[in-house]
Structure 1
Amino acid sequence: MNSPEIYDNRAKLEAIHQDIKRLMERSNQEYLDLMFANFKKDFINALTSYVKDDIESGLEKSMVDPCQMRKTCKSRFKEFLGNNAELIKCDNVSKESIDKKKDELSEIRKEAPFDNCEVCFKEVNSLFNKQLHLINSLQIYSSTEERPEISAIPEEVIVKQVLDPLANKQRLQILKSMASETKTFSNLSKLTGLRGGNLLFHIQKLLESDLILQRHERGDYMITEKGYNSLLMLAEFKKYMEN
């Protein structure tokens, strides 16, 4: 027969076992949280670096040359766009911050002295819009604007701009692949098994629907806010169908 001391010791051992188990679970969770935080930090830093490289290459390629103001304007554009790139590191970007950036760009535009300045500002606007798309895709932009009623959207728009572009396996495959990173034409060819004009046809469909965009002519392709939200919509629909 077991003595009271044995029962007592067993209870103490069980209590110690449970304490150790809880400690391990907490330690594992803390480790996972730390890993995720470090991964997120590395990803954001890499993304910010990528955006800044895009600024440099875009301005260098597209600004008017020769122009006596090229060096001065390029420096100011890089400062403006570079500061915007830092917003990617924020956990939350307010509508007021974005509006302030838009006003700042408008003020810079007013100071442009030449007619052909429009060429340079077209590239700056393009880079700025890409940054806004990226900020939206990261879901760190909070807007207080009311969303439009779904019932108010014409059926033709829904079919042409969303349903038709996504109602194809290869196009959906392409869009999904860009949810976390940009893709080259070669990457997409390997992914889909399509080549040349066949692949270009599907890419063009997504470009025309503003679900993806291309950094520059012959450059990488990246998802837009609209494209990312379309994927979220499909993910929610899948979840609903499984319930």
Structure 2
Amino acid sequence: MNNPEVYDIKAKLEAIHQDIKRLMEKSNQEYLDIMLANLKNDLINSLTSYVSDDIEHGLHRGMVDPCQMRETCKSRFTEFLENNTSLIGQENVSKNIIDEKRAELDEIRETAPFDKCDICFSEVNSLFEKQLNLISSRQIYSNTEKKQTEISSIPEELMVKSVLEPLSNKQRLQILKSMASETMTFTALSELTGLRGGNLLFHIQKLLESDLILQRHERGDYMITKKGYNLLLMLSNFLKFLEK
């Protein structure tokens, strides 16, 4: 068997290998899609079931009793709240739809004949707000359209290279923090981080390449840049957000 034939066989085997690899990747992706779809349906069913039970228990517990209109009002409230459960399973719920629901509840309130109706409507409104919170938890309401657009526009490669990768190391974060209020020498950074020679230089270079710090002159002190300082402020604010 001459060399061209060997090369031809190898090429065909490689092509078959690539076809099998693509088929496996496609199968795995299809399986993953099915699994995620089932999890999504289970979540929606669980939320819907929870909301329906909450409506029954909430109205039974929170409405005025005795009241001659109790059963009539309970039936109307239940219908209003049950109709909202369908929104939980939708991919997108616009602000207009929510506003229409609020207006519908206001119209029902206007027909209430007694002062004590405020007690019942307070319970209905509480249940309605809980429904909105559940809808919001699925990120299909709460004015997320602009936020989603901003998130989708994040440049992954640039974000990883200029932000995530430089700060993914404890020593690099130490170095950046140390320069928030003063310049630092190589020796001082070595004492701070416990790193020596090339190991320390590697991390400093990462921060220099990301424009988070700069060296004032050759062999001179290192100092933080505006970009680096703003990034530290962002991290500080993020931690405050997590603590809420």
TM-score bin, normalised by smaller chain: 0.5 to 0.7
Alignment check: 8 A CA contact 1:48 1:88 kept: yes
**Identity over aligned residues, as a percent?**
70
CA distance in 1, matches of 2:137, 2:3: 66
Match in the other structure for 2:158: none
Which letter maps to 1:114?
F
Match in the other structure for 2:202: none
Report how far residue 61 of structure 1 moved: 0.8
- What's the CA shift string for 1:27-62, capped at 9, x where partnerless? 101110111011011111111110111011000111
Report how far residue 125 of structure 1 moved: 0.7
Structure 1 stretches lacking a partner, 5+ long: 148-232, 239-243
Report how far residue 68 of structure 1 moved: 1.6
Match in the other structure for 1:117: 117
Which letter maps to 1:115?
D
Which letter maps to 2:70?
R
Which protein shows a greater Rg? 2
Match in the other structure for 1:237: 238
- What is the TM-score normalised by the length of structure 2? 0.58
Q: How does 1:142-157 map to 2 (within 5 A)?
A: 143=143
Moved over 6 A (4+): 144-147
CA distance in 1, matches of 2:114, 2:238: 51
Report how far residue 144 of structure 1 moved: 8.6
Report how far residue 137 of structure 1 moved: 2.2
CA distance in 2, matches of 1:73, 1:17: 68
Aligned residues: 152
Q: How does 1:210-229 map to 2 (within 5 A)?
A: none
Which letter maps to 2:78?
K
Q: How does 1:49-60 map to 2 (within 5 A)?
A: 49-60=49-60
CA distance in 2, matches of 1:47, 1:123: 19
- What's the CA shift string for 1:172-200, capped at 9, x where partnerless? xxxxxxxxxxxxxxxxxxxxxxxxxxxxx
CA 1:31/1:8 → structure 2, altered by over 3 Å: closer, same or farther?
same
Match in the other structure for 1:228: none
Report how far residue 102 of structure 1 moved: 0.4
CA distance in 2, matches of 1:107, 1:71: 19
Matched, 1:89 2:93: no
Matched, 1:28 2:28: yes
Q: SS of the residue aligned with 1:143?
A: coil
**RMSD (Å), alpha carbons:** 2.5
